[in-house]
Structure 1
Amino acid sequence: MASPLNFDSKIIIVGAGTWGCSTALHLARRGYTSVAVLDPYPVPSPISAGNDLNKILELGSFAGDDEEERYVSNKLLEAATHGWLNDPVFKPFFHETGCILAATSEEARAHMNSRDGPSESDGWIPLKNKEDFMATMPKGVLTGDFPGWEGWWKKTGAGWVHARKSMESAAREAARLGVRFVTGEQVGQVTGLIYQDSDIKGAITADGTSHYADRTILCAGANAAALFDLKDQLRPTAWTLAHIKMTPEEAKLYKDLPVLFNIERGFFMEPDADNHELKMCDEHPGYCNWTLDGSTPFAKHQIPLESEARCRAFLREIMPHLADRPFSFARICWCADTPNRAFLISLHPEYPSLVLGVGGSGHGFCHIPAIGGFIADAMEDKLEKPLKQSFRWRPETAIGRDWKGLQGRFGPEGANRVMNFQDIKDGQWTRIGDSARELGPKI
């Protein structure tokens, strides 16, 4: 049986990424006075998916057919939207520049235009041809032919958020409120959990220290399964991103642009104000790294040459004047899919002091203002019934799972599938700059 929970209870959060920082902030705001976060790296961790220039954000609601799924999605979106618009920790980092959603193939267009997709009644403007797309941005930005493209443009209620600065802001406020961040490759690196009296009572770090706790919250993202048996409920999946350095004059022209996202080609957002780097991603259903232990995450600040080729092909369709520019930065970015892409936020049924906060499934970052509150609710065992059902521990859903399933994602011809990093040979990676570095697998 778990020890009684009160505001003096010792709480350890494993992982100082997006959800770990959010959870630390929400626990501190609720009045918990003994919260520690363990991570091998200070915030922002170089291997956290949240350590990024920007992420796409669309405010609004979900209109799916399933009533329970619709309720849960809208509850999450409502809480996240409130945070981005009102919470001083997060509000400065939301840029309401608008969003363009597009597709090329008949199958992807049908997916885009499904019930959950854009509509004129929700403020979306249809884009039917090259001229329509070019009119969404200042002259000289979109210079491509947009072959086969159709899409939608929403001027308000969408845009992007500065991911890294949001996560840093959450950690900074949590620390101000008393949360301890224990970081370092020895003192902060969790190597295992403490199993005691048929429960989990904390975590062990690489320096041999046993950190005992009344509650242990696992927020280790794609690496969570390396620390605890999640019964195949998570599939670590990686995506690829690259940056192009812009001139100060180009940065001015590209400022405040709407996000442009083709669901089978890729997306880009305006250059960041600090370094004038334009971020883009080639879109695909993801890479796994299949080993005997399943899909095993690793960190690398390079991307496969085939990914670089897809990025450049995407640029040739929309901004050919940038297609041959050298990349200034690139990395692979890991997330963890659940079988149905619903979050796994729950007390463990066998270890009552263990709280799970994992399974971002490619859409976890936009919830950083509020997700920690739901994880805290799970710890306090007061999640609403529909949320508790959706977020539950559910190993039965992994039985017979199609590991190659696309999970509702798309990619261009040749990459419209889940790919395997094991197929990428040593000489088939980019070699970008002296600053490029590789990091071993860590939480």
Structure 2
Amino acid sequence: MPEATSNGASTLPPPPPPHPRPTPSNILIIGAGVFGLSTAHALTQDPSFACASITIIDRSPDAGVFPSPDASSIDSSRIIRADYADPSYAALASEAQAKWRQTSSSSCWGGEGRYTECGLLLAGDDGPLSTDDGSLTGIAYVKKSWVNALALAHKEGRPLSSVRVVNAPKYVAMVSGTGGAFADWGYLNQASGWADAEASMKWLYERVVATGRVAFVNGTVESLAVDEGAKRVTGAQLTDGTTLAADLVVAAAGAWTPSLIDLSTQAVATGQVLGYMDLTEDEQQRLEKIPVLLSLSTGVFVIPPRNRVLKVGRHSYGYTNPKPPSKPPLRASGPDGPAPPALVSQPHTHLDEAALSIPLEGEQALRESLRRIIPWPELPDRPFSRTRLCWYTDTATGDWLIDYHPYWDGLFIATGGSGHAFKFLPVIGEKVVDCIKQNPPQEFKEKWRWRADGNTGDYVVTKDGSRGGLHGLILDEEQQKKVQ
């Protein structure tokens, strides 16, 4: 039976100790997004898995298209930065950036325009450095990131002047390139930038296909196949009734993962707002050379436009979408453990509803921040050409979940991207494979582990200092406000 905490919430029993695991001969990866596709590629490059068959199944509705068009990684742009308050992630991002900066040919990660190093202005509003519960505020995150950015500049042999403090709104306005005094304090890191996310995923997919080692399957996993007596996951059951068998199942389904496995103490799917605005050619030329602009007090960011489209988004607590899953997720502590929750926050995308638009609350937040970031009278009220909900898999600390399931043999989990996994695409697969081999990076061994001692509240809230907006917003409730 689960134990009770002082506030009456149940906790899971401690997981059993790890044990040596044989090299699998048949690996099934659920999801062809950042975690899944990069893991597949890394497996093909690792001699330990030279004899293993590897299959990726993805919910993409279009035959031969991977990942699905509504995956969080399929987008015009993603911020590439080593600007982290946590030095471990800053160092890992620096490792990834070294590969993004390889742009000399189409065979390089950043080639063919996939990576642009335009700089990042990371900033926040003055205020306390911690909240009532001791977590970082946005301005505290910015200042810790600044320290780590300076250390990385020194380590990489770049001049410290490449990380430039901007210590007043009037200087933020000058450095932004837009005239927008959108924060009180920040810094410009010239060694950051952005990547074309969709093009990068297509490039990696083609590299994986070229290995000839990975089979790709279009299909939707409804549940995991299990041998309850052996407490073992044996494969995946699809919505069409098909079962795919495997010695090792790698659950890398992003925000869809909590619908398959009970992660209610560890991770939750949250919808984040994005807006896209058409520009004139003159506006494109005025904005294409600006740095990425990101306020960690509001979570709102602007990425330099390409092809006369400006993207503005918000890195926030997001919206949850609690719904009954088609089948109960796999019990967190084995067949005899507590039942998973009746409601699971599940992604709702334009593939589910073609006319889906972002809630009014999110649209208003984007426009309000856009007025501060780009204070041009012609922009803030211009209609968005399209909007989108991008679905994160959030953890309480923003750390990823990359670990074997402690109660079910044959199951490995690689998820919990928390809105900041894409930038690590060139290296994250290698780290996942190291964890599969039970040799995780020491600095992440604790951060990425399965947490039986996780959240005991109603749902997981990410409190790492990088989020804006309000927490506790329910998608259906906010969408109703839009139509009233």
Q: Does 1:200 align with 2:233?
A: yes
- AA aligned to 1:255 is E
Which residue of 2 is the match for residue 13 of structure 1?
Answer: 29
Q: Does 1:54 align with 2:72?
A: no
Question: Aligned to 1:211, what secondary structure does the other structure show?
Answer: strand
Displacement after TM superposition at 1:239 (Å):
1.0
Displacement after TM superposition at 1:75 (Å):
5.2
Question: Aligned to 1:216, what secondary structure does the other structure show?
Answer: strand
Residues 251 and 413 of structure 2 are in contact (CA less than 8 Å); yes or no, is this contact kept in structure 1? yes
- AA aligned to 1:94 is Y
Residues 28 and 179 of structure 1 are in contact (CA less than 8 Å); yes or no, is this contact kept in structure 2? yes
1:11 & 1:103 partners in 2: Cα distance?
Answer: 44
Q: Does 1:132 align with 2:171?
A: yes
- AA aligned to 1:171 is Y
When normalised by structure 1's length, the TM-score is 0.83
Which residue of 2 is the match for residue 239 of structure 1?
Answer: 272
Classify 1:246/1:130 alpha carbon distance in 2 versus 1 (closer, same or farther; 3 Å): same
1:106 & 1:334 partners in 2: Cα distance?
Answer: 30
Which residue of 2 is the match for residue 370 of structure 1?
Answer: 427
Displacement after TM superposition at 1:311 (Å):
1.3
1:429 & 1:179 partners in 2: Cα distance?
Answer: 49
Classify 1:310/1:227 alpha carbon distance in 2 versus 1 (closer, same or farther; 3 Å): same
Classify 1:389/1:53 alpha carbon distance in 2 versus 1 (closer, same or farther; 3 Å): same
Which residue of 2 is the match for residue 84 of structure 1?
Answer: 100
In structure 2, which of residues 350, 359, 363 is the aligned counterpart of residue 304 of structure 1?
359
Task: Spell out, residue by residue over 1:127-180, the C-alpha distance to the aligned partner (whole angstroms, 9 max, x if none).
Answer: 345542343355xxx255x36x32334252111111111111111101111244
2:85 & 2:348 partners in 1: Cα distance?
Answer: 36
Q: Does 1:277 align with 2:277?
A: no
Which residue of 1 is the match for residue 450 of structure 2?
Answer: 393
Which residue of 2 is the match for residue 150 of structure 1?
Answer: 184
Question: Aligned to 1:327, what secondary structure does the other structure show?
Answer: coil
1:171 & 1:298 partners in 2: Cα distance?
Answer: 25
Which residue of 2 is the match for residue 419 of structure 1?
Answer: 473
2:372 & 2:72 partners in 1: Cα distance?
Answer: 27
Residues 290 and 422 of structure 1 are in contact (CA less than 8 Å); yes or no, is this contact kept in structure 2? no
Residues 192 and 227 of structure 1 are in contact (CA less than 8 Å); yes or no, is this contact kept in structure 2? yes
Classify 1:367/1:248 alpha carbon distance in 2 versus 1 (closer, same or farther; 3 Å): same
Displacement after TM superposition at 1:100 (Å):
0.8
- AA aligned to 1:287 is Y
2:139 & 2:175 partners in 1: Cα distance?
Answer: 23
Displacement after TM superposition at 1:230 (Å):
2.7
Classify 1:417/1:259 alpha carbon distance in 2 versus 1 (closer, same or farther; 3 Å): same
Q: Does 1:189 align with 2:220?
A: yes
When normalised by structure 2's length, the TM-score is 0.76
- AA aligned to 1:357 is A
Displacement after TM superposition at 1:337 (Å):
1.5
In structure 1, which of residues 43, 60, 68 is the aligned counterpart of residue 66 of structure 2?
43
Displacement after TM superposition at 1:96 (Å):
0.7
Which residue of 2 is the match for residue 67 of structure 1?
Answer: none
In structure 1, which of residues 94, 100, 115 is the aligned counterpart of residue 115 of structure 2?
94
Q: Structure 2 stretches of 5 or more lacking a match?
A: 1-18, 129-136, 151-159, 324-341, 351-355
Question: Aligned to 1:102, what secondary structure does the other structure show?
Answer: strand
1:404 & 1:392 partners in 2: Cα distance?
Answer: 18
Which residue of 1 is the match for residue 42 of structure 2?
Answer: 26
2:462 & 2:431 partners in 1: Cα distance?
Answer: 28
Classify 1:305/1:400 alpha carbon distance in 2 versus 1 (closer, same or farther; 3 Å): closer
Which residue of 2 is the match for residue 210 of structure 1?
Answer: 243
Q: Does 1:326 align with 2:365?
A: no
1:182 & 1:223 partners in 2: Cα distance?
Answer: 18
Q: Structure 1 stretches of 5 or more lacking a match?
A: 65-69, 431-443
Deviates more, 1:155-164 or 1:247-256: 247-256
Displacement after TM superposition at 1:401 (Å):
7.2
1:328 & 1:343 partners in 2: Cα distance?
Answer: 33
Question: Aligned to 2:35, what secondary structure does the other structure show?
Answer: helix
Task: Spell out, residue by residue over 1:231-288, the C-alpha distance to the aligned partner (whole angstroms, 9 max, x if none).
Answer: 5211212210000011233223322321011123311111124xx2110013532222
1:387 & 1:261 partners in 2: Cα distance?
Answer: 26
Classify 1:307/1:74 alpha carbon distance in 2 versus 1 (closer, same or farther; 3 Å): closer
2:143 & 2:124 partners in 1: Cα distance?
Answer: 12
In structure 2, which of residues 440, 456, 465 is the aligned counterpart of residue 408 of structure 1?
465
Task: Spell out, residue by residue over 1:296-323, the C-alpha distance to the aligned partner (whole angstroms, 9 max, x if none).
Answer: 3222441011211111111222323311
1:18 & 1:164 partners in 2: Cα distance?
Answer: 11
1:308 & 1:79 partners in 2: Cα distance?
Answer: 35
Which residue of 1 is the match for residue 261 of structure 2?
Answer: 228
Classify 1:122/1:294 alpha carbon distance in 2 versus 1 (closer, same or farther; 3 Å): farther
Q: Does 1:161 align with 2:177?
A: no
Question: Aligned to 1:326, what secondary structure does the other structure show?
Answer: coil
Classify 1:27/1:153 alpha carbon distance in 2 versus 1 (closer, same or farther; 3 Å): same
Residues 121 and 294 of structure 2 are in contact (CA less than 8 Å); yes or no, is this contact kept in structure 1? yes
- AA aligned to 1:298 is H
Task: Spell out, residue by residue over 1:331-380, the C-alpha distance to the aligned partner (whole angstroms, 9 max, x if none).
Answer: 11111122222111112222232111011112111111111111111222
Question: Aligned to 1:395, what secondary structure does the other structure show?
Answer: coil
Task: Spell out, residue by residue over 1:29-75, the C-alpha distance to the aligned partner (whole angstroms, 9 max, x if none).
Answer: 22545211101212242221111111112236x565xxxxx4x4355
Residues 89 and 170 of structure 1 are in contact (CA less than 8 Å); yes or no, is this contact kept in structure 2? no
Question: Aligned to 1:389, what secondary structure does the other structure show?
Answer: coil
Question: Aligned to 1:330, what secondary structure does the other structure show?
Answer: strand
1:293 & 1:368 partners in 2: Cα distance?
Answer: 31
- AA aligned to 1:421 is L
Question: Aligned-pair RMSD on alpha carbons?
Answer: 2.8
Question: Aligned to 1:117, what secondary structure does the other structure show?
Answer: helix
Which residue of 2 is the match for residue 346 of structure 1?
Answer: 403
Task: Spell out, residue by residue over 1:85-109, the C-alpha distance to the aligned partner (whole angstroms, 9 max, x if none).
Answer: 3494522222110011222352456
